[in-house]
Structure 1
Amino acid sequence: MTDLPAAPEETPRQVRTRRPGPLRGLVTACHPVPGLAVTFVAVVLAVGAGLGPGQVVILGVAVFTGQLSIGWSNDWIDAARDRATGRTDKPVASGTVPERTVAAAAVTALAATIVSSFTLGPLPAAALLVGVAAAWAYNLRLKATVWSGATYLIAFAGLPVAPYVALPEHPWPPWWMPVVSALLGFAAHFANVLPDLRADTETGIRGLPHRLGPRTGVIVMAAALAAASVLLGVAPAGTSTLFAVTVPVAGIALAATTAVAAVRAPNSPVAFRLTIVIAVLDVTLLLTITT
């Protein structure tokens, strides 16, 4: 019997799983969307305060590197907890990026924000670095305590202070600016945490939103967003009646929309993204007032 020719070996189909590489993982681990949003807000505030182009750039660098350090430190510190809860979306927990790489990136970014902050002067450096310190304290310990929301209040309240005290006369911003910013940050804390309440609780994280529960948390988030818009509409002097009516009404409507999104999709980041949109819109409106 004649042997049949051997069939050619099949070349295995190369299936690419689209697993992110280390560089892309490092970008993801820094939490780029909120980091860029906070940087945009800071730059808008700096322009509105009247800083020169060079100072605006330096402040933007200081805020952006600070946000990088906060995002990277968050994933670095939470790596073990994220693995325990199966967070495959976290590059460090999934093994895409080594912990030591993210740790080094966080420390390097922190050093960069310290240097760039002091380039603006001691007063703006203090305003910026107190916020960064509050965020690192949140990552290290306070996220699991009733004081979790206080770190957001402190960090975001200082954001509009920095560009004003960087001016030659070191003036203080109008009182309502830090308050509006703090309220937006407080709301962002709840919007960011609400989708992870169950997973956080399983690993011992019991911050303020966890203690209040999802229903009360949604109410607090919506109230903070609405209060920020109402204050932005009525507190500034010299604005028109149309502005004073339109901004609060629109802000309350957007806050209600965000609350509905949080209730309908409790495990989705939609509410957090809407909160970022509201913050950007409020700060853009603020620019129209101050320029």
Structure 2
Amino acid sequence: MTGLPTTPDGASRRTATTPRRRGLLRGLVRACHPVPGLAVTVVAMVLAAGVGLTPGRVVLVGAAVLTGQLSIGWSNDWIDAARDRAVGRTDKPVAAGTVPMTLIAVAASTALVATVVLSVLLGSLAAAALLIGVAAGWAYNLGLKSTIWSGATYLLAFGALPVAPYVALPAQPWPPWWVPVAGALLGLGAHFANVLPDLRADEETGIRGLPHRLGARAGVIVMAVALAAASVVLGAAPATTSAVLALTASTAGIALAAATAVVAVRAPQSPVAFRLTIMIAVLDVVLLISTAP
């Protein structure tokens, strides 16, 4: 008898497996692109609450949007794994080998099924609006990101997204024209803000979307104009908006868009411009709710 404690083999395996599982979980969280995914979900829920959906329906909207964003984020890292490895993207868990391809494929597919089910529970019109956005996201990942139509996927997805809370109401009212227009403009601006930091790495692997074809300088201009235009539309279009609110909202939107452009020019590799875009989106949603009929 040595008097030393012994550890059963099963306990040893469990001890070794726990850090591996935690690593996989962290990798899945990183691979889903959590910041934009959560931002889109929060914006959708705030809008859903603002137009008058019940708390249960607001949560359902959030769940449908979140699972859709998860499916898009995971499918992006799944589909782009070879490209990401080619340019040494160690920040991408699948490319770095910390998350297996089979796991990310199962996660993306499961999230896609979940968002279809959750969307259908909101009604056919709301489901159509939400699933158009998810389909656009998957189409972008599957190849449109490398074409001149890359921006069209964002226009479609973010133009359709704010329609869903309106048509999920019992009377299924169609939103005013300026709601999807502002959403589409925000989406286009977000596309450029998201892509600009990766222009060089993308071009090395053959990705030639709209921002790549226009170039960094023109891309910054398009981004700023789209973001500013969204705020101008929301400030000036609603008939219920006072002149003071319209001027204030439009001025603030233009100023924030200009600040985003400055950041994008001075620090093109930084994600700050994209995060400023999220801030503009949140402010625009608050403005939309305050002027919604």
TM-score, normalised to structure 2, is 0.91
Q: Does 1:52 align with 2:54?
A: yes
| Aligned AA (1:65) | T
Question: Displacement of 1:268 after TM fit?
Answer: 1.0
Aligned position for 2:66: 64
Question: Displacement of 1:188 after TM fit?
Answer: 0.4
Aligned position for 1:107: 109
Aligned position for 1:204: 206
Q: Distance in 1 between matches of 2:24 and 2:59?
A: 28
Aligned position for 2:246: 244
Q: Deviations over 1:181-203 (max 9, x none)?
A: 10001000000001111111111
Question: Displacement of 1:171 after TM fit?
Answer: 1.1
| Aligned AA (2:194) | N
- The aligned runs of 1:12-91 (5 Å cut-off) are 21-91=23-93
Q: Which runs of 4+ in 1 moved over 6 A?
A: none
**Aligned match of 2:167 in 161, 165, 168?**
165
Question: Displacement of 1:288 after TM fit?
Answer: 2.2
**Aligned match of 2:179 in 177, 180, 185?**
177
Aligned position for 1:124: 126
Q: Does 1:193 align with 2:220?
A: no
Gaps of 5+ in 1: 1-19
Question: Displacement of 1:165 after TM fit?
Answer: 1.0
Q: Deviations over 1:33-53 (max 9, x none)?
A: 100110011111111221111
Gaps of 5+ in 2: 1-21
**Aligned match of 1:271 in 270, 273, 284?**
273
Equivalent pairs: percent with the same residue?
75
Question: Displacement of 1:145 after TM fit?
Answer: 0.3
Question: Displacement of 1:285 after TM fit?
Answer: 2.0
Q: Distance in 2 between matches of 1:168 and 1:178?
A: 20
Aligned position for 2:292: 290
CA RMSD, 1 decimal: 1.0
| Aligned AA (2:77) | D
TM-score, normalised to structure 1, is 0.92
| Aligned AA (1:276) | I
Q: Deviations over 1:81-118 (max 9, x none)?
A: 00000001111111111111111100000000000000
Q: Which has the larger radius of gyration?
A: 1
Q: Deviations over 1:134-189 (max 9, x none)?
A: 10000001000000000000000111111111122211001100000100010000
Q: Secondary structure at the match of 1:21?
A: helix
Aligned position for 1:156: 158
Q: Deviations over 1:6-63 (max 9, x none)?
A: xxxxxxxxxxxxxx81111110100111001100111111112211111111111000
Q: Distance in 2 between matches of 1:62 and 1:145?
A: 28
Q: Distance in 1 between matches of 2:243 and 2:232?
A: 13
Q: Secondary structure at the match of 2:198?
A: helix
Q: Distance in 2 between matches of 1:85 and 1:264?
A: 23
| Aligned residues of 2:74 and 2:107 also touching (Cα < 8 A) | yes
| Aligned AA (1:254) | L
| Aligned residues of 2:185 and 2:229 also touching (Cα < 8 A) | yes
Q: Secondary structure at the match of 2:180?
A: helix
- The aligned runs of 1:245-264 (5 Å cut-off) are 245-264=247-266
Q: Distance in 1 between matches of 2:290 and 2:167?
A: 20
| Aligned AA (2:55) | P
